[in-house]
Amino acid sequence: MRALKSRQRGFSIIIATFVLVVLGLLAAAMLNLLGAGAESVAREVISTRALLAAESGVQRRLNEVFVGSGSCAACSAGATQSNYANWYDSCAATVACCTRSPGDGRSYYFFTATGRCGPAGEQAVRVIEVQARD
Residue 118: other Cβ atoms inside 10 A: 19
Strand partners of residue 84: 93
Residue 116 structural domain? 2-133
Residue 87's closest CA among 112, 125, 50? 50
Residues 6 or more apart whose CB falls under 8 angstroms from that of 61 comprise 70, 82, 95, 97, 111, 113
Region 18-23 average pLDDT: 91
Confidence of residue 33 (pLDDT cuts 50, 70, 90): confident
Q: Taking Cα atoms as reference points, which of 43, 54, 38 lies closest to residue 121? A: 43
Distance CA 13, CA 112 (A): 68
Indicate whether this model's pTM tops 0.85: no
Kindly list the distances between the CA atom of residue 133 and the CA atoms of 102, 104, 108, 111, in Å, as whole numbers in the listed order: 12, 12, 4, 11
Residue 85 is predicted with a pLDDT of 74
Total tally of structural domains belonging to the chain: 1
Q: Which helix (H) or strand (E) holds 71?
A: none
> Across the chain, what does the average pLDDT equal?
84
Kindly give the residue spans of alpha helices, DSSP state H, lying in 67-112.
Answer: none
Q: What is the pLDDT of residues 79-122, one digit of tens each?
A: 777 777 766 667 889 999 989 888 888 889 999 999 999 887 88
